[in-house]
Each structure stands twice: as structure tokens, then as C-alpha cells.
Chains A and B, each alone.
Chain A
Amino acid sequence: MLSNEEVQALIRFVAEERRGGSDLSVEYQAGGVYLRVGGDRSGGSGAPRGVAASTAAASGASPSPAPEEVHAAAASPASALEEVPAAEEPAIEGHVLTSPIVGTFYAAPSPDSPPYVEVGARVEQGQVVCIVEAMKLMNEIEADVSGTVASVVAENGDPVEFGAPLFVIRT
């Protein structure tokens, strides 16, 4: 979690870089916020956002616009301070498994069953690790790499959007 001072410094840095005409890219990863000067932000890295979809929270905040947009235009009603904590997820290293669809996350096949996987469990690529329910269809989500579950990011019953981080898997 960034401190207020760090957020302010970040905003100043972004503002100055923009004034200088730099092509900035901002990415959120589970480990924090990455700024790249002169980078290609459309590089299709599929960088996951640091928080699971908070869409049902009705906060009125847009889901993580880059700080430079907040600076550049009144397009987002949210303040930069509300947005930047997208980096508050613990810095757990590893591969982030993201939701390939929109729906509701379930860690277990049924309410009475144990979860498919828990932190510390070994998973193989192709193994079912959770369910994302969409329109009453239970979509089984498979691990896209083999490794050890380092973190279960989504909570049982969470609404998740496309790209929302579900698990961190240490390969």
C-alpha cells in the first residue's frame, strides 16, 4: 500500500513526464504499480489490475483509470487518491491467473464441498481451480500453468470481470 506522500509523488512524476512529452505507460500488477517511460502501453501484456473486480461495490469509481488520465481531464469522477491504491494487493510473486469471462467466482464445486485449491496446493496446468458462474452456467476455470498456489485473490461469491485476478501461482 502506497502512502499518501508516495501517491502525491507519483502524480507529480506523471504530470511532469506528460509535460515533457514522454510517452508514459502505467501498469498495475499484483506486486505494485509500474511506470514505463517511452513504453508501449498497448503491448497486450494483459496486465491484471491489482484488485478483483469491484464492480458490484457501486463506488462510482471507474475501475482504475491511469493516474495520468485523472490529471489530464475531468473524465473520471474519482480522485487519484481513490484510484492509485489499486496496488494494495500484497506483493506476491508469481503467475496471475485471471478470469477469462465475466461472472461470479466460486472456490468450490458446491456450497458443501471443500475448495478446489487452497494456498500451498500444487496445481497442474489444465486442472480445474474454480468456477465462474455466468447466466447459471458453471464454467470450470483451469490453471493455465503448473505450480503452487501462492494466493487466492478472489473471494467466494465475488463478482469478477474479464481479466480479474483469481489466483497467484508460483511456477
Chain B
Amino acid sequence: MSPPAARPFRKILVANRGEIAVRVIRACRDLGVETVAVFSTADRDALHVGLADDAVCVGPPAPAGSYLHKQNLLAAAQITGAQAVHPGYGFLAENADFADAVERCGLTWIGPSPAAIRAMGDKARAREAAIEAGVPVLPGGPALESLEETAALASEVGYPLMLKAAAGGGGRGMRAVRDRTGLEAALDAAASEAEAAFGSGALMLERLVERPRHVEVQVFGDSFGRAVQLGERDCSIQRRHQKLLEEAPAPLIGPELRQSLAEAALRLAKRVGYSNAGTVEFLVDGDRFHFLEMNTRIQVEHPVTEAVTGVDLVKLQIVAAAGEPLGLPDGIETSGHAIECRINAEDPETFAPSPGRLRRYRPPAGPGVRVDSHGFEGGEMPPHYDSLLAKVVAHGADRAEAISRMARALREFEVEGIRTTLPLMRRIVESRPFADAELDTGFLDRLDGE
């Protein structure tokens, strides 16, 4: 990527907190763009606030009054003279109404068009688009009005099946259903969970794939209708549908499957006229793959793709939003192997959140190691937000070198004052099944069963 002749924007408001706000501010710095941080009263001393050129308090600790408060965020852009808004991930990143409001205020939204966010945000519509683009989908469809109709669709699809929220992801509103007797209770539970999380209780049902691999393709579109793919990531190691570890390229994927995945993702991106960064997620079962969903934002795990492609995806988001061409080849070459471990402020056994003050914080460094974090010694992990503390990314010439560098990095990493998932991540990375790339969504259960 050649640097643009002039800086793409004078000033960008980063409508987020935590490590991703820090990540976006760094990309802005690299581009010579000024930044505005927003923060809640619980985040006054947060790292992103200190790093930004300007900072505006946008509300109380509860996200609804601050990081999700559209008017305060837009007013913060207004009073600081920001020209564009980067939403990060989570919070309002996939909120088409907010993207619309940003544009109506004469600001640039650093992300895909509101229309693309809407089309992919509704799982039923996304599924239709995938079918139209010739991307394989699992048997399924939207849950219907009456229990009888839905039960009829369910027997057509076949058990076991998976219920999911039509309006969102992240494991909320998801239920596996083994047979007809469990259907009604699962529908009720999933619908109320979806209603609470996304404001819509609409559900989809799809045939359940037992212990699939979870592989996703990074795509990127510019404002001239061109889209490229930047290779895939394996995100199979999860607990309760939350990713713990990601790697690129996906191990043990043959060249044919790799190419089919990349082409399918590109077809879908082009079909919906996609611009900016996006991720097409697939369930992979042996040599077969099926469309899962498309995420219309930068992903938490984007650094593994950055490591193997050498492309700064967040910088590219900003440059592309400013209307610059991507300057990338159609089929990008990757180099070596990269792994990311998410270090959460959680009890490593129960996964209960562990907020508090970081009495000690010594992140790892050294060859092939990158840490994206908002942590610092004396800093606070407030209880109100996502528990992600740090992402450790290890890059090596091959997977074995990436693993040994990751193991070294996790051993070096010292955090005291709160509990973290570091012990769990060390156990995963140093395990035999991980070295053998026995990757599927049942990985953690098997490891715990040892």
C-alpha cells in the first residue's frame, strides 16, 4: 500500500474504547490524522483518552448513556471539528442507523455503507444474498409465526438444528435443538435473549453442524466497486461461541478449499456492493463449507491477517473511506503464519468477569510478537464493558515457529490485580492437540476432558 499523497482526513473521532480505540488512534497517527477519543466517566484514565489529541466525556459508565449514545457521540464530533467517525467493533459498529446519522451530519463513516450493514446484519437477508451469489448455505430459513409452522420447517431442515438471532451474533440468541420436544422452549429462550440483546426477537433456524471448523475470509472493497480478499483465518477455538484464538492461514486447508472459500467470499462482497473491511464467516466440515454470516466491521482478530499480508487494515479502512483506491493486488501473497490469543479479564475456569486495577502489567515483546492492548500498570478494567484486555499476536516463518513464539510470549506476560485467561491460553498453545492442529469448535471440551 503506497501512502496517500495527502492525509485522508484532518481529524477522526473514534467512537469506541479499549484496545480497538487505541488501535485506531495509532493508525490515525501513522497517517498524520488528529484524533478525538470519547469516554465514559468510568474511562477517564483509560489509555485511549491519553493517547488521543482531544477527548470528550460522552456519558456515564453504562454504555447506553455513553458509547451507545448516538447524539452525544455526534455532538462530540461536532464540537471538536472531526470529519469522520471510526466505530471500531462492537457498540455501534454494525448499527446502520448510526452510520446513516453520521453521514447525515456531513461526516464520513469509516466502514461499509448503511445499506450493506443492513443487508448483512439481518441473517435472513444475508442468507438470501449468499444464495444469490452462489455461496453454499446450510438447510434452514427464518423461524415462522406459529410454533406449528416453525416445527414443520424444522422437520424439513432436520434435527439437530441451531436457532440463532436474525439480528445479531456473538452467541446471544443461539440455541442448539436436538429434537422436536426441545423446540418450543428453545424458541422462547432464544427469542427473549435476542430481543434483549438486539431489540428483535426474530430467529433463524439452520441445520446444526457438529463440531465444525470456523474459517473466515477477510474481504475489502473500495468505493469504485472493486473488492479483494486477504486470505482466511481459522477461529475454531471458542467457548460459548466466543473466539479465544485465531490464526492465519487456516492450518490443514488444501489449496482447492482455500481458493473456493476466497472466491465465495469475494462473490458475496461483490454481490452486495461491499465497501471497506468485512469478514465472511464459514462453517467448514471436512471439504465442505457453508456460509455462516458476514461481519460488516473490522474484526477483533484482524492483526493475524495484518501479520501475514503486511497490510495495515485499519489504515486501509481510513484511506478507503476517504475515497482512495486500495492499491492491493487481487490475490495477495501471504508470508509465514500468525496466531492471536485473546487475553480476557476473566476467571480462566469459570469465565466470570474479573474487573479491577492492574497492579502489575508486563506485556511480552521480542521477535515476532505484537501486543494490542489498552492495559497499563495502575490502569483499571471497569466492570461495565467487554473483558478483552490484550491480544497477543505471534508471527513466525511457519506455524511451529509462530507457536513457539506465542508460548514464549504468554510465559512472559505478567498481570496481577485481576484474573485473566492467560493460564488457559498457555495450556491451549502448549498442548499436543493444538500443535497437531486438531481444530474445531469442540477443541476446548476435549482439552478439558483430558
Contacts and interface: CB of A to CB of B under 8 A. Distances in A.
Given A102-B72, A104-B79, A162-B72, 4 more contacts: A58-B54, A69-B45, A101-B75, A160-B79
B49 A65 contact: yes
B378 interface: yes
Nearest to B71: A134
B76 A68 contact: no
A62 B41 contact: no
A28 to B, nearest CB: 10
A75 to B, nearest CB: 5
Nearest to B357: A23
Contact of A62 (B42, B55, B81): B55
A60 B56 CA distance: 12
Contact of B50 (A62, A102, A164): A62
A115 B115 CA distance: 44
Interface of B: 34, 36, 41-42, 44-45, 47, 49-60, 66, 71-76, 78-81, 105, 376-379, 382
A134 B72 CA distance: 8
A101 B58 CA distance: 7
A151 interface: no
Contacts of B376: 72-75
B81 A75 contact: no
A159 B49 contact: no
A102 B55 contact: no
Given A62-B49, A65-B50, A163 B75 contact: no
B55 A162 contact: no
A66 interface: yes
Contacts of A42: 42, 382
A7 to B, nearest CB: 18
Contacts of A159: 79-80
B47 A135 contact: no
Contacts of B80: 55-56, 159
Nearest to A158: B79
A60 B53 contact: yes
Most interface-central of B60, B75, B76 (chain A CB within 10 A): B75
Contacts of B59: 162
A68 B36 CA distance: 24
25 contacts: A46-B41, A55-B56, A56-B79, A63-B49, A63-B57, A64-B44, A65-B49, A66-B44, A68-B378, A69-B379, A71-B378, A75-B47, A78-B50, A101-B72, A101-B75, A102-B57, A102-B79, A134-B71, A135-B78, A161-B56, A161-B57, A161-B58, A161-B76, A162-B56, A162-B57
A114 interface: no
Contacts of A58: 34, 53-54
B378 A72 contact: yes
A77 interface: yes
Contact of A56 (B50, B54, B71): B54
